[in-house]
Each structure stands twice: as structure tokens, then as C-alpha cells.
Copies of this chain bind each other. A is one copy, B any other.
Amino acid sequence: MPRRQDHTPQELTELAIASVQRHLQQTAASQLSLRKIARDIGYSPGTLINLFGSYSLLLLAVNARTLDDVHQQLQQAIRQSEQQHGSPVQQLEAAANRYCQYASQHPHLWRLLFEHRLADDEPLPTWQAQRIDTLFSLIESRLSALHPAASADQCRTAARVIWSGVHGICSLVLDNKIFLNAGRDNDHLIHSLLSHYLTDWCRT
């Protein structure tokens, strides 16, 4: 029960988050528990609780990391497509494909991002909302480049429509609730969504 200084609070935070991420590479979040994490990093459950506040807040911290990772992935995909002189549509498609790739490579992390909820009031902390907004503006900027005549509000709407669609495709394919029994469903569906939607959207 003594004060140990094996790790600073920050190190401990990293340790815990890393442990969750490690577990979620192989097992679903429903199999995870605060006690297992504590056992894994060699501390007691209580220590994690007064570091994060609750198990739920620990998971929220993991989600923040995941969102950062996703943002970085999208940014990278867009930049790569840019360097290969891809059109804005191609850049968007690259981002969308990367998003689905991340989801299928880290299904448990990705699901935690959307299935984890705080209390019933669900006020979603502002720093997390900020992250989501930044992610959307990545898409909006490509839409604006694609169709300069579109207003900022039109881009906002289109970005949300498109990304909801991409997200929906990832969700349903990942859960096997779509049944196309063709390989590489993701890319095919995403291409259809983006090309048809954007072709007509540009006529506005």
C-alpha cells in the first residue's frame, strides 16, 4: 500500500492505454475488464480508478487515441493521393478506403469508438467533439476543392452525408450484415457511393 514511484502518472496512463490497445487487437471489448487491465500492468484496480475516474473514462481515453490515429491515417491517405496527382474525388476515395482498412484491421478498437457511451445524458466531452469536427473538415476541404462554387454549408452537409455512408458501409460489412458474398465488398461499395453521389453533387 505504499507510494511506489515505478511510474509517473503519465507513464501509468500510457501503460494502461497500451494494455487496452493490446487486448483489443485480439479480443472484443466485452471480454475486457478493469481488473484484467490492472493485472496486466501490475497495479490494482483502484489505482486505475483514481487515475482515470472510472473504467468508462479509461475507455474514453483509448477512444481519443483511436480518433487521433484515424485522423492521421486519413491525412496520410489524402496526402499520398495528392502526391500522385489524384483528383479530389480520388483523394476522397483514398481516405474512405483507408478508413475502412483501419476498421477491418482494428475492429475492436473501432467498434469501441462508436459503441462506448458515457452516462445517459451523453454530453460527449468537448475535446472529443473537437476531434470529430476536425476529421469532418478534412473531408469538407476536399469537397470544396472539388467544387469551388459550393457554399461552406453545402460542403458541410455533403461531407456528413458521404462520411455517414462510408461509416455505414464499414459497420455493416464488418458485422457481416450485408451479404454481398463478393470479395472486397468495401472498396466496391465505396466507389459506387462516391462516384454516383459526387457526380451529381457537382452539378449543383
Residues of A whose CB lies within 8 Å of any CB of B are 27-28, 30, 114-115, 117, 120, 122, 124, 129, 132-133, 136, 156-158, 160-161, 163-169, 171-172, 175-180, 188-189, 192-193, 195-201
Measured between C-beta atoms, what is the minimum distance from A34 to chain B in Å? 15
Bound together, the chains give a CA A169 to CA B27 distance in angstroms of 28
Bound together, the chains give a CA A176 to CA B163 distance in angstroms of 14
The 9 closest A-B pairs by CB, nearest first: A168-B168, A165-B165, A164-B168, A196-B200, A200-B200, A164-B169, A167-B168, A199-B200, A196-B197
Bound together, the chains give a CA A200 to CA B180 distance in angstroms of 22
Further 6 A-B residue pairs, CB within 8 A, beyond A160-B169, A167-B171: A114-B175, A132-B179, A164-B171, A171-B171, A196-B201, A197-B197
How many copies of this chain?
2
